[in-house]
Chain A
Amino acid sequence: MTDPVTGFTQPVRLEYDYTPGFGRSRFLRALEQGRIQGERCPVCHKVYVGGGSGACARDGVPCDELVELPDRGVVTTFCVVNLPFAGQTIEIPYVSAAVLLDGADIPLLSLMQEVAADEVRMGMRVEAVWAPEDERKPSMDTIRYFRPTGEPDAPIDDVLRRMRDA
């Protein structure tokens, strides 16, 4: 080999031990049992889901009231991923969507599958596809993805207004 060296590949790698903390641990342990658990703020009555701090970001008070949420809801926004990247395990193009579960006031970020990327739309009704019971862990992977339910679309303007005004 005689060509001059013009570059090299330098992986930058950081390994973290991630500890989810109180609020998110509570959410993840419910997932392991096949439940989606939200929490209601006693002041503004918003229902948060996805495991934040266990407190309301707006009112700064603990959200002690736990709320069982259904595993279905509405796509409020989404992103079509077209770019390949290192470590990618899903065939492109695919869709990441924000799913507002029925009864929640904040969406969950989720993978969409069983639907073509160009068919996903705001207002689409979707449901969770769970890992088999014996593979459920306190992990976001326990919900494999969301897929369309086939129900008529939700009126997206109303959904967005409800999120904003709640």
Chain B
Amino acid sequence: MAEPEVLSALHVLEYPYTRSVGPVIGRFLTGLRDGRIAGIRARDGRVVCPPVEYDPVTGEPLDEFVEVADRGVVTTWTWLEQPRSNNPLDTAFAWALIRLDGADTGLLHAVDAGSAENMRTGMRARARWRAERHGHITDIECFEPER
């Protein structure tokens, strides 16, 4: 007896969330729109980037913003051979934590290195900015190896 054909249908679940970002992430995103990257100084003197509203150790509110560079060091990474439709790049790339010059923590972003052979921990990378920026993390299209 032939197996009946299995029914299948595409089902899309989509919610257009509008997110309020608050004063600290708002400052970070406003900076991105201007092509600048803001960190914030923690109580122990470290610069946290992206900035956080409260001190990661003491929990006190933070408000001393520090501008950091748009380039830095890859501290860890993973290679994505087959990007999905909602990823920042449609070719193979690395997700990486990038410690920007002037910061003490890593920013998560994509690195467009062409191939995993071009990635290594400790390498330097710089932001590739979009020409049109709207105040969103995607105002940085990706990072690329600094030569």
Which residues of A are in contact with B by a Cβ distance under 8 Å?
Answer: 1, 4-20, 25, 28-29, 86-87, 138-139
Which residues of B are in contact with A by a Cβ distance under 8 Å?
Answer: 4, 6-21, 26-27, 29-30, 33, 86, 134-136
Tell me which residues across on chain B come within 8 A of A29, comparing CB atoms: 7
B14 touches A87 (CB 8 A): yes
Assess A86 versus B9: contact at CB under 8 Å? Given A1-B33, A6-B21. Answer: no
Assess A15 versus B33: contact at CB under 8 Å? Given A4-B27, A6-B21, A7-B20. Answer: no
Q: How far is the CB of A9 from chain B (nearest CB, A)?
A: 5
- Selected contact of A11 from candidates B15, B29, B136, CB within 8 Å: B15
Assess A8 versus B135: contact at CB under 8 Å? Given A13-B86, A25-B4, A86-B16. Answer: yes
A13 touches B13 (CB 8 A): yes
23 A-B interface contacts by CB (under 8 A): A5-B26, A5-B135, A6-B20, A6-B21, A7-B18, A8-B21, A9-B18, A11-B15, A11-B16, A12-B17, A13-B12, A15-B11, A16-B11, A16-B12, A18-B8, A18-B11, A19-B6, A20-B9, A25-B7, A29-B7, A86-B14, A86-B15, A139-B9
* Cα separation A13 to B33 with both chains bound (whole Å): 25
* Cα separation A18 to B8 with both chains bound (whole Å): 5
Q: How far is the CB of B24 from chain A (nearest CB, A)?
A: 11
Tell me which residues across on chain B come within 8 A of A18, comparing CB atoms: 8-11
* Cα separation A8 to B12 with both chains bound (whole Å): 22
Q: How far is the CB of B146 from chain A (nearest CB, A)?
A: 27
Assess A8 versus B9: contact at CB under 8 Å? Given A14-B14, A86-B14, A86-B16. Answer: no
Assess A4 versus B14: contact at CB under 8 Å? Given A18-B9, A25-B4, A139-B9. Answer: no
Tell me which residues across on chain B come within 8 A of A5, comparing CB atoms: 21, 26, 29-30, 33, 135
A4 touches B15 (CB 8 A): no
A14 touches B12 (CB 8 A): yes
Tell me which residues across on chain A come within 8 A of B30, comparing CB atoms: 4-5
Q: Max chain B CB contacts within 10 Å: which of A5, A16, A139?
A: A5
Tell me which residues across on chain A come within 8 A of B86, comparing CB atoms: 13
* Cα separation A9 to B15 with both chains bound (whole Å): 10
Tell me which residues across on chain A come within 8 A of B33, comparing CB atoms: 1, 5
Tell me which residues across on chain B come within 8 A of A14, comparing CB atoms: 12-14
- Output the nearest chain B residue to A9 by Cβ-Cβ distance: B18
A12 touches B15 (CB 8 A): yes
* Cα separation A13 to B17 with both chains bound (whole Å): 10
